[in-house]
Structure 1
Amino acid sequence: MNSGTRIPVVFLWHMHQPDYRDCVTGEYYFPWTYLHALKDYVDMAAHLEAHPGCKAVFNFVPILIEQLADYASQLKHYLERGDAIKDPLLALLTSAERPAPGSERFADLLAKCTRANRERIIERFCPYRQLVNMLDTWQQDDALPCYFNQQYLTDMAVWYHLGWLGETVRRSDKRVTKLQEQGTGFTPEHCTQLLEIIHELMADLLPRYRRLAESGQAEIITSPYAHPILPLLQDFASTREAMPDALLPAASHYPGGQGRAIWHLEKGLAVFKDHFGFRPKGCWASEGSLSDSTLALLSEVGFKWSATGDSVMYNSLKLPANEQAAQRIEQQPDKRHSVFSVADKATGVFFRDDGLSDKIGFEYANWHADDAVGDFLHHLENIAKSASNPEDCVISIIMDGENAWEYYPENAYYFLDALYARLEDHPRLYTTTYSEWLETTPKSVALNSLCAGSWVYGTFSTWIADSEKNKAWDILCQAKLDYDSAVEAGLAGDSRRLADLQLALCEGSDWFWWFGDYNPSDSVRDFDYLFRQHVTNLYNIIGKKPPEKLATPISKGSGSPANGGVMRQGHL
């Protein structure tokens, strides 16, 4: 590599939570959206702000954007006029009426206040650890009487939210320090103060990222509205491009899937522009799921670039149509760190360095931060040294921007700070965004076709080709046919609008992600329930009786995957 040439590195942090709301009542089933906002989205913005010489790309899924705005609005209206908050856990910090001590609902709320990383969050804070240990002791001995009262629930709720606060907030907000020093015996005034802190963070979250984008330090992009796997909506058979023997659902295809794919893209763009004020140039197709037909659709909509895992690249290079590109990359392996063009598609494709991205997601959490960053930079430097045409080289680090950090000490505070700090002044590397780098008009590597797949293993096996996943697809296909018949019969107005949104939630990728025995039973139970509830709601909205099978769980789960199954590595 020329000594004067610096090689660009792009970090694409993917921010995503499915819609946990009941589409009709607005009630939240689970709290993960606002908890990850407080802990991860806040910290990720703060780390970049602390290093103005660095840049990054952030992907916000539209249904996540809507939920973040909804939480900010609910908190504002509670603090200003006492309106009810429609999230049971967050409502524990308000004056809302609670279930009676000893009741099943009371016990359920206590249990939910322990759903945090035991080592990194609960064990870190002595009062929180003691509160949880008391609950553990009672749960392990049925003969013990239960003396837990409302004060105990209040203390648990306060510590649960303190534990989920971002590390940058914990280190800078004196109000948080005082609450932690209080320990136990929290009063309504303490709860209100904590709610005020949460409201400040939530209300400024999207504007904060918008400011980063306006300053040029961040590129903000989007995904299809409810995070569906677009290639599967368009064609189940695309699964077999990477998995020739894959077992597919009984339904031959998803009814009207092409139209639904277009709907998700157009709706997603509308939501994004409404909140950020501009049209994004890039699209992270849900789970990096791409195919020739999906890439054509992204091009038609006007996206300049997209991205996926490098397993998709390797699978594509095996295709006879891509023999020339395969030979080129065999001769110059560094060319895999480039932008790729696919046939006549206007949307360029970047392929994630799966190995390096997964080191951050699955390996470095147990390293000393300085050692982890040093090892990571060493790998980046080796790639940079091998660049035969530095002006066409870009190293892509793409990963979940939230779930990994709870496995790091102090929410990866030291790792992220050291990573940005060392890249900020690195003599051979610099951070940029994809759209900014594309302005340098680099030469692309030409492919004639793309082998359909995702950033997980380069296949769609996480969402289809399993008996339980396929069963869910068949349920959804029938629901879509019933929705279509309701539309043909005259469903219109608010009912049609609500049905469209509810159908979109049913089409999201997350439910299919969690079906399967290899996932943990607690998570499978939650997402299985939510999928069936969303489909049930759809039937209720269109005025049809929900099928009886929706009352029966689809999957139970019994596995113990890495990081609880919330993330998966790029390669098997």
Structure 2
Amino acid sequence: MGAVKLNLVLCWHMHQPHYREGVDGEYSLPWVYLHGIKDYTDMAAHLENNPGMRSVVNFAPVLLEQIDDYAHQLKDYFDHGKATSDPFLNQLIGAVAIPQDANGRSELVGHCLRCNAPRMIEPYAVFHGLVRWFDHFEEFDVASDARAVEILNYLDEQYFIDLICWYHISWLGESVRSDERVVRLMEKERGFTDDDRRQLAEVIHDSLNGLIDRYRALADSGQIELSMTPYGHPIVPLLHDFENMRCALPDAPVPMAEGYPGGSERSRWHMDKGIELFQHYFGRRPQGVWLSEGGVSSDALKLLDEYQMRWTATGEGVWRNSCHLSKHDAEDINTKKGLFSPHSHNSDKVRVFFRDDGLSDLIGFEYSKWDTHDAVADFMQHLNNIADSIGDDADQRVVSVILDGENAWEYYYANGALFLDGLYKACASSDRIALRTFSEVADLEARALTELCPGSWVYGSFSTWIGEKDKNLAWDYLVAAKQVYDEAVASGKLSDEQKREATQQLAVCEASDWFWWFGDYNPSDSVRDFEQLFRLQLRRLYSLLQLTPPAVLEQPLSSGGGHGEHSGTMRRTV
């Protein structure tokens, strides 16, 4: 008889916010399709290539919509010559011309430098040679630097075509780069033609077009469990009550607004819309929900019970805070033994799993710097140590490793291909580890939490989204817009179509992503991108309500200036 195996759930959260200007305007940032051809494609391929591996894959429905939209728009371009709604993608495919003016060219160069250069530029000699013209791009000032203008005007159109082609080649996943069309382009190196650009666009379309179906097939085979986040990725506990921030942040400043009006109804709207889209794309109803940013509270758990969800998950910091409130044994908390179980909160039926922050952060931040073999061996040793510490009860315990499925791989060699392949093989062949999904272990004996301290996966609090000057100001802007929305709907002056469009636009404004970027922690360029788009989304909402947007929405509300690790897209928790 073999040794008792410790249950491991590895959960990847796939998420990008709504990047279109309004519900159906231009895409302001290209991250959906770029991560689609790199990370979401590769992550599916790693699972397909390792059928013994099992995991949970969580999708934000607003991401699924945008992946689908890009695939359809590219098909329209091929079939009818119709430009897409993404200006950057249009420059690649030739639907719009390469800019001739210095400002436009400077913006194009800036786009083509937005990646982790040591892994995505420097390994490609031609790409690296192209960008050397702009080694000090951050010092360029087209408005006042004559030398910058001279360089941008000196370079011919072919230079910019080659640059944008190589940027997209560098964003292709390892599983896509073996495509013979890509191999030919990389061998050609320079002088890309209109036909070459079209072939690269076809590779992008093919990657996106079948992407959702690949995950659906993995779920159909039983290899993965698919779960979802509420539609627009809102912080549900904060929609319900700003007081939910108080347990973990008792002394933090709060927004001037007393709370978000009708927040519980809005949470239900996001759940309903999310389930509708999930069923549309995956042909099934989710059994579990990763609430946006792992944000939990007592009222959020009751919401999940309403929808008969079997499980949710959050961060280790929430577990620690809740254990202290529930007066759990200090040794149980300090040794983390109590972490490795599903938990129940009073009469709620939904089971709560807590992320092992240390193991999750090792994958997210540390192993990219390690030798692949050493990284995999280290991870497996940590799991073996946990199994040893638990002993004969290991098959009743669960280690939850949860992190985002797109942003870490930019910092790994070969987009994480060697690491993930090695990790998946090691997990699948281990005689100490049993690979599970959350639904499969939701019926294990649960530990009771009499008190739940509301919080998220980041530090066990909501400090990333509220409790700081710029973040609070953004909440005040959103609350004011919601009050105006409520008044307009109550007036009866909106047609059904106007109400539908405004409600959808409101959902875009309620996303957690805007608040993530505000404050001093993040780089200025990223803060600028997101705060401009947030204000644009709010202005669009006022316009849909047939109202003039407030003048304050013309003024920046945050400027950043920090040097957030991984460009601010990820946060450590330990």
Smaller-chain TM-score bracket? over 0.9
Distance in 1, matches of 2:252 and 2:293, equals 19
Distance in 1, matches of 2:324 and 2:337, equals 18
Residues 524 and 562 in structure 2, CA contact (< 8 A), matched pair in contact too: yes
The residue type equivalent to 2:489 in the other structure is V
Task: Name the counterpart of 1:159.
Answer: 166
Distance in 2, matches of 1:541 and 1:326, equals 54
Task: Name the counterpart of 2:487.
Answer: 485
The Cα shift of 1:300 comes to 0.8
Q: Quick check: 1:391 aligned with 2:398?
A: no
Residues 87-96 or 366-375, more deviating: 87-96
- Aligned to 2:520, what secondary structure does the other structure show? coil
Q: Quick check: 1:181 aligned with 2:187?
A: yes
Q: Quick check: 1:290 aligned with 2:289?
A: no
Task: Name the counterpart of 1:335.
Answer: 338
Q: Quick check: 1:198 aligned with 2:198?
A: no
Distance in 1, matches of 2:2 and 2:283, equals 41
Distance in 2, matches of 1:209 and 1:25, equals 26
Residues 291 and 450 in structure 1, CA contact (< 8 A), matched pair in contact too: yes
The Cα shift of 1:432 comes to 1.6
The Cα shift of 1:333 comes to 4.2
Q: Quick check: 1:381 aligned with 2:381?
A: no
Q: Deviations over 1:211-235 (max 9, x none)?
A: 0000000111000111000000000
- Aligned to 1:557, what secondary structure does the other structure show? coil
- Aligned to 2:390, what secondary structure does the other structure show? coil
Task: Name the counterpart of 1:45.
Answer: 44
Distance in 2, matches of 1:493 and 1:110, equals 44
Q: Quick check: 1:91 aligned with 2:90?
A: yes
Over 3 Å counting, the alpha-carbon distance change for 1:333 and 1:532 in structure 2 is: closer
Task: Name the counterpart of 1:124.
Answer: 123
The residue type equivalent to 1:77 in the other structure is D
Task: Name the counterpart of 1:318.
Answer: 324
The Cα shift of 1:137 comes to 6.5
The Cα shift of 1:485 comes to 0.8
The Cα shift of 1:327 comes to 6.0
Residues 101 and 149 in structure 1, CA contact (< 8 A), matched pair in contact too: no
The residue type equivalent to 1:501 in the other structure is Q
Distance in 1, matches of 2:87 and 2:156, equals 17
Q: Quick check: 1:304 aligned with 2:303?
A: no
The Cα shift of 1:463 comes to 0.2
Distance in 2, matches of 1:360 and 1:165, equals 21
The residue type equivalent to 2:57 in the other structure is F
- Aligned to 2:401, what secondary structure does the other structure show? strand
Distance in 2, matches of 1:449 and 1:280, equals 27
- Aligned to 2:246, what secondary structure does the other structure show? helix
Over 3 Å counting, the alpha-carbon distance change for 1:327 and 1:353 in structure 2 is: same
The Cα shift of 1:7 comes to 1.4
Runs of 4+ in 1 over 4 A off after TM superposition: 137-141, 330-333
Q: Deviations over 1:423-464 (max 9, x none)?
A: 1111111322111233xx311111112100000000000000
Distance in 2, matches of 1:153 and 1:191, equals 12
Residues 391 and 442 in structure 1, CA contact (< 8 A), matched pair in contact too: no
Q: Deviations over 1:488-518 (max 9, x none)?
A: 1122311111101110111000010000011
Runs of 5+ in structure 2 lacking a partner? none
TM-score norm. by structure 2 comes to: 0.96
The Cα shift of 1:113 comes to 1.7
Distance in 2, matches of 1:36 and 1:10, equals 24
The Cα shift of 1:94 comes to 2.4
Residues 7 and 396 in structure 2, CA contact (< 8 A), matched pair in contact too: no
The Cα shift of 1:24 comes to 4.8
Distance in 2, matches of 1:165 and 1:99, equals 22
- Aligned to 1:63, what secondary structure does the other structure show? helix
Distance in 2, matches of 1:188 and 1:234, equals 52
- Aligned to 2:281, what secondary structure does the other structure show? helix
Residues 9 and 395 in structure 1, CA contact (< 8 A), matched pair in contact too: yes
Pick one of 239, 243, 247 that aligns with 2:249.
243
Task: Name the counterpart of 1:109.
Answer: 108
Runs of 5+ in structure 1 lacking a partner? none
The Cα shift of 1:335 comes to 2.9
TM-score norm. by structure 1 comes to: 0.96
Distance in 2, matches of 1:331 and 1:315, equals 12
Q: Quick check: 1:565 aligned with 2:530?
A: no
Distance in 2, matches of 1:445 and 1:69, equals 40
The Cα shift of 1:103 comes to 4.0
How do residues 205-224 of structure 1 correspond to structure 2 at under 5 angstroms? 205-224=211-230
Distance in 1, matches of 2:491 and 2:334, equals 60
Q: Quick check: 1:434 aligned with 2:441?
A: no
The Cα shift of 1:106 comes to 3.1
Q: Quick check: 1:403 aligned with 2:407?
A: yes
Over 3 Å counting, the alpha-carbon distance change for 1:292 and 1:101 in structure 2 is: same
The residue type equivalent to 1:433 in the other structure is T
Distance in 2, matches of 1:22 and 1:104, equals 21
Task: Name the counterpart of 2:231.
Answer: 225
| Identity fraction in percent | 48
How do residues 425-504 of structure 1 correspond to structure 2 at under 5 angstroms? 425-438=429-442, 441-490=443-492, 491-504=494-507
Over 3 Å counting, the alpha-carbon distance change for 1:437 and 1:25 in structure 2 is: closer
Task: Name the counterpart of 2:3.
Answer: 4
Task: Name the counterpart of 1:168.
Answer: 175
Residues 244 and 454 in structure 2, CA contact (< 8 A), matched pair in contact too: yes
Distance in 2, matches of 1:400 and 1:117, equals 17
Task: Name the counterpart of 1:262.
Answer: 268
C-alpha RMSD of the superposition: 1.6
Residues 51 and 223 in structure 2, CA contact (< 8 A), matched pair in contact too: yes
Distance in 1, matches of 2:429 and 2:360, equals 21
Task: Name the counterpart of 1:349.
Answer: 352
Residues 21 and 533 in structure 2, CA contact (< 8 A), matched pair in contact too: no
Distance in 2, matches of 1:340 and 1:137, equals 52
Residues 54 and 424 in structure 1, CA contact (< 8 A), matched pair in contact too: yes
Residues 74 and 85 in structure 1, CA contact (< 8 A), matched pair in contact too: yes
Distance in 1, matches of 2:22 and 2:334, equals 53
The Cα shift of 1:254 comes to 0.5
The Cα shift of 1:87 comes to 0.6
Q: Deviations over 1:366-399 (max 9, x none)?
A: 1001101111110010001122412311111000
Distance in 2, matches of 1:521 and 1:137, equals 17
Distance in 2, matches of 1:175 and 1:166, equals 14
Distance in 1, matches of 2:471 and 2:113, equals 29
The Cα shift of 1:16 comes to 0.5
Residues 542-551 or 428-437, more deviating: 428-437
Q: Deviations over 1:222-275 (max 9, x none)?
A: 001110000000000110111111211000110111111111111111111111
Residues 520 and 558 in structure 1, CA contact (< 8 A), matched pair in contact too: yes
Over 3 Å counting, the alpha-carbon distance change for 1:251 and 1:280 in structure 2 is: same
Distance in 2, matches of 1:95 and 1:167, equals 25
Distance in 1, matches of 2:19 and 2:373, equals 37
Q: Deviations over 1:160-205 (max 9, x none)?
A: 11000001222x3122111111111000111111111111110010
Distance in 1, matches of 2:419 and 2:336, equals 29
- Aligned to 1:384, what secondary structure does the other structure show? helix
Over 3 Å counting, the alpha-carbon distance change for 1:327 and 1:134 in structure 2 is: closer
Distance in 2, matches of 1:224 and 1:448, equals 26
Residues 230 and 286 in structure 1, CA contact (< 8 A), matched pair in contact too: yes
Q: Quick check: 1:17 aligned with 2:19?
A: no
- Aligned to 1:241, what secondary structure does the other structure show? coil
- Aligned to 1:11, what secondary structure does the other structure show? strand
Distance in 2, matches of 1:33 and 1:228, equals 18
- Aligned to 1:221, what secondary structure does the other structure show? strand
Q: Deviations over 1:268-297 (max 9, x none)?
A: 111111111110101000000000000110
